[in-house]
Amino acid sequence: MFMTKVHVKKDERALLFRKGDFVEVLGPGEYSYFDPLKRFAVEKFSLAKTLFDHPLADYLRMAEPEVVAREFVAIELGASQIALRYESGVLVEVLAPNTRRLYWKGYIDVAFEEIDIATDFVIAAALVPKIAALILRGGVKIAGNEGVFVAMVPEHSAGMLSVDGKLHGLLASGLHYFWRFLRDVKVETVDLRLQVLDVAGQEILTRDKVSLRVNLTAGYRITDVQIAFAKQAKPLEFLYKELQFGLRAAVGTRSLDELLENKSVINEVVGEHIKRRVAGYGLEVESVGVKDIILPGEMKTILNKVVEAEKAAQANVIRRREETAATRSLLNTAKVMEDNPIALRLKELETLEKVTEKIDRISVFGGLDGVLKDLVKIRP
């Protein structure tokens, strides 16, 4: 009854303590200790969990190097080092800088791959498939995966890589992997294709003080990403403002009649203005066009009346022109009949035909000759 017996399995290790002080690490086997005062204590660990997460770890590493060399795999990383931890050849963890840990030696093979990231933070191509399989493809996420930065740049785009707030370079389309430790890594995606920018609902006064609402559309693309973002914090906002200024210059210096007579003048003026302003800013404006020119309600009514009056005047001119032409034709016909009795007689017969078309019944006296000679007469 004064003996303390301990059984340690083959897949276990144990720490033996006497009066709370570490004595030794116990391997597999049976142990007996004469302990009438219950001064011995044993703490067991399963080797299935390789990490030795215990307050005694730092003591063992500093004071018991022989025990550590025999029982543990030790890892000590510097301020600019990281490590990949493998268990039986499988990547299971990314260790951050300044990590100090002990792992049990046992039936699980624990190995480390140390990487210096002091100057190079791009993940080596050979490591990408291992990390991508666990982090990106929906597999079991490894411990420490927050230290991996994955940037996906779509096709027809470029990625601006910034490290600690400073532009580091451009990334082509595809997947890119970086170590996030010790750095603030960001990637901003920029579309390089032709894009459309709408400048809508611009209230502008013309030279003759008429308020117009104009909607403008521009087609643009970013030709040099680094220059565009080096000279302007937000290139799109810069382009929008310049389109506004160009539109106000085109509308505000012309009268309403000038704008309505030649709507393309706005496109020309704004196009010249914006191409001049974006030169050297990494931007290209391919097209500028006015979508709508909207008049206020009262101005619409006035213009409708003007158009109605113009059309009525045009119709009156056309009517007078036709009447004059008809009168001239009649006069020419009369002159022909005056000099030609046969033509006069033909005109009489034509008139007779028109009259008889509207009469249901005709009673003739004196024969057909009387009808032809006496019914219709044109007297001078």
Task: State the pLDDT at residue 326.
Answer: 74
Task: Spell out the SS3 assignment of the chain.
Answer: CCEEEEEECCCEEEEEEECCEEEEEECCEEEEEECCCCCEEEEEEECCCCECCCCCHHHHHHHCHHHHHHHEEEEECCCCEEEEEEECCEEEEEECCCCEEEEECCCCCEEEEEEECCCCCECCCCCHHHHHHHHCCCCCCCECHHHEEEEEECCCEEEEEEECCEEEEEECCEEEEEECCCCCEEEEEEECCCEEEEEEEEEEECCCCCEEEEEEEEEEEECCHHHHHHHCCCHHHHHHHHHHHHHHHHHHCCCHHHHHHCCHHHHHHHHHHHHHHHCCCCEEEEEEEEEEEECCHHHHHHHHHHHHHHHHHHHHHHHHHHHHHHHHHHHHHHHHHHHCHHHHHHHHHHHHHHHHHCCCCCCCCCHHHHHHHHHCCCCC
| Number of domain units in the chain | 2
Is 105 a domain residue? no
pLDDT score, position 36: 83
Chosen domain end from 268, 295, 322: 295
Model pLDDT, residue 299: 59
Domain region containing 277: 195-295
Domain termination residue (choose one: 295, 318, 347):
295
Cα gap 114→94, rounded to integer Å? 10
- CATH code of 234's domain: 3.30.479.30
Whether residue 338 sits in one domain with residue 275: no
For 202-239, how does the pLDDT look when each residue is reduced to its tens digit (9 = 90+)?
888 888 888 888 899 999 999 999 999 888 888 999 99
Query: 206 and 232, same structural domain?
Result: yes
pTM of the prediction?
0.67
Output the pLDDT for position 142: 75
Question: Do 288 and 215 sit in the same domain of this protein?
Answer: yes
Q: What is the pLDDT along the chain (380 residues), one digit of tens a residue?
A: 578 888 999 999 999 999 989 999 999 999 888 888 888 899 999 999 999 999 999 999 999 999 999 999 999 999 999 999 999 988 889 999 999 999 999 999 999 999 999 988 899 888 888 887 766 555 556 788 888 898 999 999 999 999 998 888 899 999 899 999 989 999 999 999 999 999 988 888 888 888 888 899 999 999 999 999 888 888 999 999 999 999 998 888 888 878 877 878 889 999 999 999 999 999 999 999 988 888 765 655 655 565 566 766 777 778 778 878 777 777 777 776 667 777 666 666 677 666 666 666 666 555 555 555 555 554 54
The reported pLDDT for the residue numbered 102 is 96
pLDDT for the residue numbered 371: 55
- Please indicate, yes or no, whether residues 286 and 364 belong to a single structural domain of this protein: no
Shared domain check, 288 and 204:
yes
Tokens read off for 103:
């792992």
- Cβ distance 85 to 92 under 8 Å? yes
